[in-house]
Structure 1
């Protein structure tokens, strides 16, 4: 099956950061941005390399205050390869005469190819072709192949192939006032017999020792190629001087091994890197192994649609698998919201895995489980955070990094005003609700009772316990309130002129608390009686507490407007209406309305204006039926008309300041206005490729939004649901989408293919020794046996 290639023709300095992010290569352990190997961090290029879970903590002084931040570390750059013709400066994209330049990312093979023709001041033309991989076969390996052709001259070429550990974290402009010097030089060296150069550095406070070793091999040059070794603290290079004959290609291969002191099954990181690099095969073999690994991934991952969307979908799946792979599943890492593609959000883990889990659960449940294990290992820290704040249970942070402490900054820079302002987003307590929801969704999709017994149940209980200690009870109304939080909207971190941060009775938070309490009770019921008793004792869970879970789950307060619209939070309808037309006419983009208003001396807290979906997130997570059922269980009536009014109300008051917003709105509109849903889908699909937020993608892709576009196709437009062990489908394809093919894995049933069109729905189960699976299409159930295909016309309830 054909896969799209992301191609760029010509060199455009203003677009280079975006291209570097989108052309990142990674394997879940290691990722490197798509910068030219001869470039450095110069304001145009930013050749960052990141290792999953490699964080370091530094303290900076901002506006007279000490601010501590933990960052994903920009580790030594393995790419450097510069070249110059006789008597000239090194040839670069920014400082030389570039005759031609083209860059192609082959998502099928995970191969980045660059072709450039330079002309030096003496008129000599040098053609450079480079191929690059970060191996999906071997997580510790990356490789660069560079072929030089002298087109109208002959003579020596100087090539410097190096490793650069003098890099800093400087990839996000608004962070540049903060200390980004995370690496301390260690040792550098060169083995002239094996042609391997190496260096080792360590991070400042986490003291992780990062080692890189590069085997440098030259082919095609006549005679022995002179070599020299150059070193400085934290940096080294092998200097080559091959003789070029006009029209005859000469190739330099750079085969790199990367290890850290956190890796398993090694004695020491530098020793491991040197031994590995010395034994690496040629680039052709490395590429073949790497391409085969990608072929296996694509067999179970691709979502196929006709026409233009396929290119972006392939890119989204590609970057998702480069961040979260079977290699990352071996590590103690979470999901960085911006992938391993840049330094935005400091590489922290938020709630975005909510948007990624559906893709993983239906293809790579082991990776989803590893993300839950990241949360499980930080359960003690979450318990400590709750205790320190005066609560029980576990309080997961809004931003997490290495050890699970709250990494949410307490100040942030508004680029629109240049001011550092207080940041209260740590009050987004709903991060723990996302963890609990993911635990339950994992169980629904996999039926993994062992995980629930060993880990999941305790996580659910501790999260439920936290919320029951956070709520306040109003005996007069027999309702529970939650005060002083921030919802998914993020704009509203307090009431106008209030003396405390936070808002009260956020609808999303309160409804999801009700659901999470029910998850905890359902998990207890799902366990065998004896094991349930054992776990309850282990968690100190007594009947009076399960009774409390039950009562709170049925009596959470949800606030409504007079017309039945679900209020985003208590008092929302009393806020001022914003003059949206005026702001849209004054500014090119109002996506970050909060920054615009702060720069004007105003506050978004005063207005009925949302950054992204908040109330509507409930529809995305629970479905319309789930929202109405949950509200009914709380004693509230919300019919279809009221839900429609709620959707219309917030559609008119959302600035879409997050890439996640378009995903949620496309989902919510799918059952109401399919044409509008499709428009939001296309917006989400292009959000990173077109960099709709004006420069943010250069700092790292938006992984949640990328996964969300895939999920719109696989679950929303197909009506796919996997609750209660049944694979249910009820497609509602937009008019613009003629057909849709998915390959899924469901409860250890491998090789399930779903094909939908406007006319027919078909489900096929590959031949195997597996037991049959129950499938429901438009409410009609069928027991699907291995090797069987079942088809139903899309306009009837009966089988074809």
Structure 2
């Protein structure tokens, strides 16, 4: 009997592993999203190899969209390379088709591995030990590998296996459309013990190239096969090891593009296919360990919190890579088709800070994606009667507006979507993200080549969007804020203040560029055709934009918000999330003060320097009583402002809501993909909230406010070309600048200090001590 766990060395660290024990068909689609693997270029849902009934296989390439059979562009679900089936005299191996005596899966977050062990029993009660491991290489992002081990435990076995790339997959059904396939196969053939296939998207005619190779080993004999179906005799207790290596890439719509890619990919794949499995795995693991060196957060306190934090970070790591702005990150990452893979403001406001501080090249890539679609943003502005650049609410491959017309509301009713028409704050959000990235990375080259243009063109949009009122102020009318419960509102506080920030920042940068960068200034002025008078008007608008608040400094979310009906929240679910009071229906939201997420708290977070502690306290408690948290974007920001308001217990409570959004399927739709905004929000909640790291007008500041159950938080940040290793406790901060030749100023507990390269420091409320060998 052979019950060896072949991959046990990758499954025994509880701080790094997410586990599934037993197979439940009711939650398999949730598990598929949670157990996704990826490398940023390719993402694959954690579907079982046999794709049991009800499974939703998903293989996605970043930036590959198609709209031919749908009303808007969708992230294309491509052929599934992890498809693998065994049969025994017509009896299919599978979690549904056979008796499953044991079933375990482990998602190894540290190394990007999905590992499985299942013990099957056939109709004659004979048992089979089935194990598998798979990964999408973080070393070579076109490569994926899967290895399976099958051992008959009670008798010899005649098995048949099928290891094709499954082209029967399709994109998920939507409310107004059935299932659809966005590609067709244009070439498929075997060559040199491997297989080659090309599929083509229906609208853009993009070519997706697949290479796959398969070999198996029984005992010491290693054999190659390009057959789609293979029959084998296995001895009792003798493991048979099956290895599949594949390559996926994309190219343009021209025959010459395909010819070049075929030649290039064949060379790479053939070299890879000859590389031993152990070497491919090691290269992949080494690449992951390098990533975690700057991405990990180590929390000494609760093991469950530690593991779930890493789960959130892992899902941000598997959906990001640098491709010179060809793609960005959708609201459901590469783990599902929620929101059709579209890119929202989630990318810049919730995800980008994580990348800017841990892997700046990725943050730059996200902004290059926006810059390369700036012309489409200009076209959208013109089509709406505005000037400058107006970015789409939902974007995909081209930068055109991709918001669908209809969707299901929270209560299941069909509603018309108006966000593309009215939710305009995204243009300011993107400008904000540009400045945030430049400040963190000190990337002045990006600012000169791309950032100024985005900032100036979005400011020009806002200048054309405002209306001058009789009181001499400027208003922004008929919008939707992040709180999407209320439509067609005037002077939404978040929209107005972000537009104000955009206008004044563009004005100030214009003057600075004119003075310090005359060559860049002249080129931009010629390209964009703006004048000193136009930019001076931006300052006038920005300083006179409406922001309404009560005498106690509670900010009115929009005009007449305070006149809306106040309904007291009295009941909460098991996660302390408010339940809708009796008698209130979803369609009643517009008439009440209930908010989906608090626009005002988001405003206090992003423009924190502009508001004092008292203002934050007043607004937190006011909007806390009115926020239903019906968006995955809500909880993390709510937690951070709760900290600033001194509500430490509530801060920890809402942090846990954000942390468990996907690992516990709190919103009931993780099956459609992990929630990108919540993933990024959790990271910000820890770093900018509990660890107290803030980017202020004076630079980086650290003043932790940690949960009492946490002893310390350790993390690494990139800051202006320096690599800072930081450990925070409530009364202590350890710091080391790993950059040998640079010095950096950091404010700790309200006092500014200069850190010399490679030295280690301990800060304790006005004290500083060198720490030798702490890290």
The TM-score, its normalising length taken from structure 1, stands at 0.89
> Displacement of 1:549 after TM fit?
0.9
Equivalent residue number for residue 75 of structure 2: 72
Residues 329 and 717 of structure 1: is their aligned pair in 2 closer, same or farther, counting only changes over 3 Å? farther
Provide Cα deviations, 1:55-87, integer angstroms capped at 9, x if missing partner: 000355xxxxxxx121000001101110011x2
Candidates 45, 55, 65, aligned match of 1:33: 45
1:622 paired with 2:596, answer no
CA contact (8 A) 1:593 1:611 kept: no
Task: Quote the residue 2:593 is aligned against.
Answer: 608
CA contact (8 A) 2:57 2:169 kept: no
Do residues 146 (structure 1) and 141 (structure 2) align?
A: no
Question: How many angstroms apart in 2 are the aligned matches of 1:71 and 1:596?
Answer: 35
Pair 1:555-2:544 in alignment: yes
Deviation at 1:407, TM superposition (A): 0.7
Taking structure 1 as reference, are residues 195 and 730 closer, same or farther at Cα in structure 2, changes over 3 Å only?
same
Tell me how far apart the structure 2 counterparts of residues 670 and 15 of structure 1 sit (CA, whole Å): 35
Alignment match, 1:318: 314
Determine if the alignment matches structure 1 residue 126 to structure 2 residue 93.
Answer: no
Verify the 8 A CA contact 2:252 2:258 in the aligned structure 1: no
Find out whether 1:305 has 2:307 as its counterpart: no
Contact 1:8 1:103 in 2 (8 A): yes
Q: CA deviation at 1:724?
A: 5.3
Match of 1:497 in 2: none
CA distance in 1, matches of 2:577, 2:351: 28
The CA deviation at 1:88 is: 2.7
In the TM superposition, what are the counterparts of 1:30-109 in structure 2 within 5 Å? 30-39=42-51, 42-43=53-54, 45-59=55-69, 68-85=71-88, 87-109=89-111
In the alignment of these two chains, the number of paired residues is 745
Q: Is the 8 A contact 1:225 1:241 kept in 2?
A: no
Q: Are residue 278 (structure 1) and residue 247 (structure 2) matched?
A: no
1:789 is the counterpart of 2:775: no
Correspondence for 1:687 among 655, 658, 661 = 661
2:9 counterpart residue number: none
Question: Does residue 458 in structure 1 map to residue 453 in structure 2?
Answer: yes
Q: In structure 2, the residue corresponding to 1:659 is in which secondary structure? A: coil
The answer to whether the 8 Å contact 2:577/2:628 transfers is no
Of the three residues 759, 768, 771, the one matched with 1:799 is 768
Distance 1:16 1:539, change over 3 A: same
In the alignment, what sits opposite 1:708? 681
1:757 shift after superposition? 1.0
2:117 equivalent to 1:115: yes
Distance 2:580 2:241 in 1: 48
- 1:257–1:593 distance in 2 versus 1, CA, 3 Å: farther
Shift of 1:718: 2.6
* C-alpha contact (below 8 Å) 1:217/1:253 kept by paired residues: yes
Moved more, 702-711 or 175-184: 175-184
- Given that 1:149 and 1:249 are in contact with CA atoms closer than 8 Å, whether structure 2 keeps it comes out as yes
Counterpart-to-counterpart distance in 2, 1:492 and 1:421: 14
State the shift of 1:139 in Å.
0.6
Match of 2:585? 597
CA distance in 1, matches of 2:443, 2:114: 39
How far off its partner does 1:197 sit?
2.0
Helix, strand or coil at the partner of 1:241: strand
* Deviation readout 1:604-651 (Å, 9 max, x if unpaired): 21111111121110122122x3235xxxxxxxxxxx545423221211
* Residue in structure 2 matching 1:438, options 433, 439, 455: 433
Cα contact 2:212–2:244 (8 A) shared by 1: yes
Deviation at 1:526, TM superposition (A): 4.0
- Do the aligned residues in 1 keep the contact of 2:190 with 2:226 (CA within 8 Å)? no
Q: Which residue of 372, 379, 392 maps to 1:377?
A: 372
The 3-state SS of whatever aligns with 2:332 is coil
Shift in Å, 1:92: 1.3
User: What is aligned with 1:24?
Assistant: 36
- State how 1:131-280 maps to structure 2 within 5 Å: 131-170=133-172, 174-175=174-175, 177-178=177-178, 180-191=180-191, 194-220=192-218, 229=227, 238-262=228-252, 267-280=259-272
Secondary structure of 2:559's counterpart equals: coil
How much does 1:521 deviate? 2.2
CA positional deviation for 1:275: 4.1
1:530 pairs with 2:499: no
Distance 1:503 1:10, change over 3 A: same
Say which of 529, 546, 554 aligns to 1:565.
Answer: 554
Deviation of 1:25 after TM superposition, in Å, equals 0.6
1:780 CA drift (Å): 1.9
Report the Cα distance in structure 2 between the residues aligned to 1:190 and 1:146, rounded to whole angstroms.
22
Write out per-residue CA displacement over residues 243-264 of structure 1, whole angstroms, 9 at most, x where no aligned residue: 2111111111000000111499
> Which 5+ residue runs of structure 1 have no aligned equivalent?
61-67, 230-237, 494-501, 629-639
Indicate if the aligned counterparts of 1:394 and 1:462 stay in contact, CA closer than 8 A. Answer: yes
Q: Tell me the distance in 1 between the aligned counterparts of 2:744 and 2:402.
A: 44
Kept in 1: contact 2:341–2:396 (CA 8 A) = yes
Distance 1:71 1:324 in 2: 18
> Is the contact made by 1:659 and 1:702 (CA closer than 8 Å) also made in structure 2?
yes
Match of 1:745 in 2: 718
Q: What is the CA-CA distance between 1:512 and the residue it aligns to?
A: 0.8
- 2:16 — aligned with what? 4
3-state SS of paired residue (2:339): helix
In 1, distance between residues paired with 2:263 and 2:553? 67
Is the 1:775–1:784 contact (alpha carbons within 8 Å) kept by the matching residues of 2?
yes
74-83 vs 3-12, which deviates more?
3-12
The reply on whether 1:645 has 2:633 as its aligned counterpart is no
Q: CA deviation at 1:594?
A: 14
Against the structure 1 CA distance between its residues 519 and 2, is the aligned structure 2 distance closer, same or farther, given a 3 Å change threshold? farther
- Verify the 8 A CA contact 1:225 1:242 in the aligned structure 2: no
Q: Is the 8 A contact 1:21 1:34 kept in 2?
A: yes
Pairwise CA RMSD of aligned residues?
Answer: 2.6
| Cα drift, residue 32 of structure 1 | 0.6
Question: CA-to-partner distance for each residue in 1:380-406, whole Å, 9 max, x for gaps?
Answer: 000011011111000101110111111
Distance 1:657 1:778, change over 3 A: same
Q: Which runs of 5+ in 2 are unaligned?
A: 1-12, 770-775
Q: Secondary structure at the match of 1:305?
A: strand
Indicate the SS of the match to 2:694.
coil
SS class of match (1:657): coil
Matched residues in 1 for 2:368 and 2:39: separation? 20
